[in-house]
Structure 1
Amino acid sequence: MDPLVATAVHALGDHPSVPQPASPPDFPSKLWAIADLHLSYKGNREAWEKLQPKPNDGLILAGDVGESAEHLRIAFTQATACFKHVFWCPGNHELYTMPAQKEAGARGEDKYMECVEIAREFGILTPEDDFMLWEGEGEICIIAPIFTLYDYSFRPAHVKLEDALDWAREENIEATDEYLLHADPHTSRIEWCNALLARTEAKLEATLAKHPGAKLVIAGHWPLREDLVKLPLVPRFCLWCGTKKTEDWHKRFNAKVVVSGHLHIRRTDWRDDTRFEEVSLGYPRQWQDCQDRGLDVNDILREILPGPSTGPPEPRSTTQWRKFG
């Protein structure tokens, strides 16, 4: 079983591209986000069917929609029926090559590009597309979906890279990625991560050069900062949660908001006047308390833009837990 289950129950293109303006909304629009829909679960599929229309708003799907093309199409069909603009970035689950596909299924970059092509069937913007200039309610921002992966650098200083997997296994922790997420044509997920980071940095730098002073909404599946990865029951799962190389990206790339998922622990944090939003739904048992209170997937959607009217709380490292949305 994915170790994030226990944690959440406990926790309460190669060339840089530049933004193109979005079509003006009919009235001031908002931007929302959700991640980790995990539509392989019947309960989550049924919940997603209850998504309510916000026809002039936008929605970020920040990874882990599911493992198959069918899951993607279910998610994208409903999202595009309800929202004017939809953005998607991959999580680890979209990249899985399932055992039944072992011989003929796409792997690594090919699996990722299959997902991108499905998103494009629905007019959804991905990390492979130009970033969008968002002119909805509040401050004008550039919406930047990204794909970064992880490199096992979220680990204590005394643990060497070559010992990292054994360190996690000492606590019976090992991500399913080690068996289903392949790096082809790269030699390892670390190598793939490094290539993704180089491409993404170039794209973000080109965007700011084109739009000096612009604020960004950076949306990816994995957290950009290690200090936002708090997994009380399975702390050693941190290995699969990001890379230290993105620690300062919110400052380097002038982020107004950073959106992520993956942890299955909903929260809002502030760092350096940047708002960080973990927006995951999670497996059905992880948000059963919400359903018991009469809440549904619409209550879990997080408002990204314009967002709260007040600034960060004091002290600025304070976390706002979002168990109920």
Structure 2
Amino acid sequence: MLYNLGDMNPSTEQSVLKNKIKLLLKPKMKEILPLMDMPEIESETESDSVAEDNDGDDEEENDDREITTSNTSNTEVVRRLRASQLTVEDSVQRPMKLRPAVSAIMRRVFAISDLHVDYKENMDIIQQWSPMDYENDALIVAGDVTDSLPLLQQTLQHLQQVFFRVYYVPGNHELWIRKPEQEKDSITKFHQIITMCKEMGVVTEPESLCVSNMAAVWIVPLFSWYSTPEEDSEDSLYIKPQNPVGEDKSHNMWMDNHLCIWPSFEGTRSKYFANLNSQTCMKQYTDPVLSFSHFLPRTDLVKPSDKELAEIETERKRLGLESAVEANKKGHINPRSFNFTRYAGCKVLEAQIRQIGSSVHVFGHQHRNKDRRVDGVRYVSHCLGYKRERAAGLVTGIEDCAPKQIWPDIV
């Protein structure tokens, strides 16, 4: 029988859950009750339990009956209520996949971005990630998965099978419109993606995640877009080249300028997406905050540090390639006519990171991996990027093509 608990208040739901579990899982009560912090009780008759339900429906002799609208087993409801410290209402509304009961929780948080699964070699990498390695862990996906909605859904579903929880924000690629006759504009597509994620159980809103029996962290997605210097010079991360070489052809080279379709709205694109974070930024977070966005929040994160340059040189040497400095002088790495900082990010994003008190902020977009601490915040970029970039030694720290653990911090 299917018990719909959606219209009950939390205390009523909790009572109903306990009653159903007593009836349906009596053979395993000694295992289940400790997970609920309930004392062991005397055996009771089925008729007594059924009477407590006051449901009016005939009961069936079937230990596999479901008691939530999300097709979650009885054992799973109990374990999740305790393990993740979600409310009963949350557990009913959010579909959860089956996990073995554990007495002690130690949940890690991983991050990655720029999966670009439109490329078969990248999809092959992701398909190799196994729940054997991550089934109790959470994953932050900081945008640029694919511009195809069916492929995006397929990829997120796979990640949900591998990880306990998946958090996500769209990047610029997701907002590309390849079929204008099917997708109205980039803003409409963005909201379609968010709706799809909610229906799937992929998290795009702030959520408290239990990482141990005694601790939790807040995972906080921040929607964003970049400001070009023409749109808003104060908000832009644009860095004017000191010695420009030739014509700046960035506008024509940047695919967003060809594949994004924007409706009319007041203000800049950056401010539009920043305003979507208003309620998020007004919340009070009592546990450590792990925030993430697709775009960069600071100008000083654009250029590589000495340490990051050394890592690139080491990787290129390992691959038998010439120095990155020499290659860059020849225009082999970054085209001289393209200035990425036009499209890097926005400063309003940094203000929001500070407002919510982030301990760690994850970002993507640039396809250059970083792990820095700036003014008390740890900034992490861990992109999969393109195969050609990995082969050129430009995407460092991802030699195993796996997500990066960001919590707890690995010393």
Q: Could you state the TM-score of these two structures normalised by the residue count of structure 2?
A: 0.59
Name 1:13's counterpart in structure 2: none
User: Quick one: distance in 1 between partners of 2:118 and 2:180?
Assistant: 19
Structure 1 vs Structure 2: percent identity of aligned residues?
25
User: Quick one: distance in 2 between partners of 1:223 and 1:83?
Assistant: 26
Name 2:406's counterpart in structure 1: 304
Out of 249, 261, 265, the position equivalent to 1:182 is 261
User: Quick one: distance in 2 between partners of 1:250 and 1:114?
Assistant: 25
Query: In 2, are the aligned partners of 1:72 and 1:118 still within 8 Å (CA)?
Result: no
Q: Could you state the TM-score of these two structures normalised by the residue count of structure 1?
A: 0.74
Name 2:270's counterpart in structure 1: 193
Name 1:164's counterpart in structure 2: none
Query: In 2, are the aligned partners of 1:69 and 1:118 still within 8 Å (CA)?
Result: no
2:226 is aligned with 1:124: no
Name 1:79's counterpart in structure 2: 159
Choose between structure 1 and 2: higher strand proportion: 1
Change (3 A) 1:249 1:104: closer
Displacement of 1:38 in angstroms is 0.5
Deviations 1:175-222 (A, max 9, x none): 1111112222436xx62321221331x2233212xx3x4431111100
Displacement of 1:260 in angstroms is 0.5
Displacement of 1:223 in angstroms is 1.1
Name 2:84's counterpart in structure 1: 23
Change (3 A) 1:170 1:214: farther
Q: Specify the code of the residue in structure 2 equivalent to 1:154.
A: L
Matches within 5 A, 1:232-247: 233=334, 236-247=339-350
User: Quick one: distance in 1 between partners of 2:355 and 2:240?
Assistant: 24
User: Quick one: distance in 2 between partners of 1:75 and 1:51?
Assistant: 12
Name 2:125's counterpart in structure 1: 47
Change (3 A) 1:252 1:267: same
Matches within 5 A, 1:166-315: 170-174=247-251, 175-186=254-265, 191-200=268-277, 202-208=278-284, 211=285, 213-230=286-303, 233=334, 236-288=339-391, 295-298=399-402, 301-309=403-411
Change (3 A) 1:304 1:169: farther
Question: SS at the partner of 1:56?
Answer: coil
Query: In 2, are the aligned partners of 1:34 and 1:61 still within 8 Å (CA)?
Result: yes
2:238 is aligned with 1:135: no
Name 1:11's counterpart in structure 2: none
Question: SS at the partner of 1:297?
Answer: coil
User: Quick one: distance in 1 between partners of 2:274 and 2:200?
Assistant: 26
Out of 137, 146, 161, the position equivalent to 2:222 is 146
User: Quick one: distance in 2 between partners of 1:252 and 1:193?
Assistant: 17
RMSD: 3.1
Which structure has the larger Rg? 2
Matches within 5 A, 1:2-17: none
Name 1:12's counterpart in structure 2: none
Query: In 2, are the aligned partners of 1:220 and 1:260 still within 8 Å (CA)?
Result: yes
Name 2:110's counterpart in structure 1: 32
User: Quick one: distance in 1 between partners of 2:302 and 2:392?
Assistant: 22
Change (3 A) 1:67 1:294: closer
Question: SS at the partner of 1:121?
Answer: helix
Deviations 1:81-120 (A, max 9, x none): 001110110100000001xx02332312210012122222
Displacement of 1:155 in angstroms is 1.8
Change (3 A) 1:143 1:224: same
Q: Specify the code of the residue in structure 2 equivalent to 1:302.
A: K
User: Quick one: distance in 2 between partners of 1:245 and 1:117?
Assistant: 25
Change (3 A) 1:158 1:84: closer
Change (3 A) 1:73 1:147: same
Change (3 A) 1:204 1:113: closer
Deviations 1:138-164 (A, max 9, x none): 9632111111101111224799xxxxx
Displacement of 1:294 in angstroms is 11
User: Quick one: distance in 1 between partners of 2:401 and 2:241?
Assistant: 41
Deviations 1:16-46 (A, max 9, x none): xxxxx98249421001011001011111111
Query: In 1, are the aligned partners of 2:281 and 2:352 still within 8 Å (CA)?
Result: no
User: Quick one: distance in 2 between partners of 1:115 and 1:284?
Assistant: 26
Change (3 A) 1:113 1:203: same
Segments of structure 2 that go 5 or more residues without pairing to the other structure are 1-81, 86-100, 229-235, 305-327, 329-333
Name 2:188's counterpart in structure 1: 110
Displacement of 1:251 in angstroms is 2.9
User: Quick one: distance in 2 between partners of 1:81 and 1:39?
Assistant: 17
For this pair of structures, how many residues does the alignment match?
269
Is the deviation greater in 86-95 or in 116-125?
A: 116-125
